[in-house]
Structure 1
């Protein structure tokens, strides 16, 4: 069964440029993963500091493999300190 992840992020204004660079880096690396069917980053039309990451994986194993990847671990270490508030994560 497919696994869908939706992550809502709000970042600090001063971190916007570095966020964009790092986020699009992980996007391209994640799209290359076996089992990653879709990985998109969307920017909120009304707030330039709010984003949504939409991910689709073939199954739970593909998602688990993504969470164990070096680029994922690096991204989490990068993004957590620049968040304006806790992320909202939905898993389907």
Structure 2
């Protein structure tokens, strides 16, 4: 059954550009995953430090595979210190 993930991230203002460099790589590599249907990054219009990852996968196994991938782990380690709060992640 298809799974959708929405992840909301708040980034420190001084880290926004660096965050985007890492996020663009994350989007590229995630879209190459076999069971990833969609992986997009959106930036809030009025608050340029707020981002949303919108992700669609074929099933929960594909979500788990993504979350254990090297590019996911690398992204988390690179951007964790740039965040102003814990990400809000919803899976539907």
Shared fold (TM-score, shorter chain, > 0.5): yes
Report the alpha carbon displacement of residue 33 of structure 1 after superposing the two structures with TM: 0.3
- Count of equivalent residues: 92
1:1-92 superposed matches below 5 A? 1-92=1-92
- State the TM-score, normalized to the length of structure 1: 0.97
RMSD, aligned α-carbons: 0.7
CA separation in 1, counterparts of 2:89 and 2:68?
18
Contiguous gaps of at least 5 residues in structure 1 = none
- State the TM-score, normalized to the length of structure 2: 0.97
Moved over 4 A (4+): none
Q: Secondary structure at the match of 1:7?
A: strand
Contiguous gaps of at least 5 residues in structure 2 = none
CA separation in 2, counterparts of 1:89 and 1:78?
18
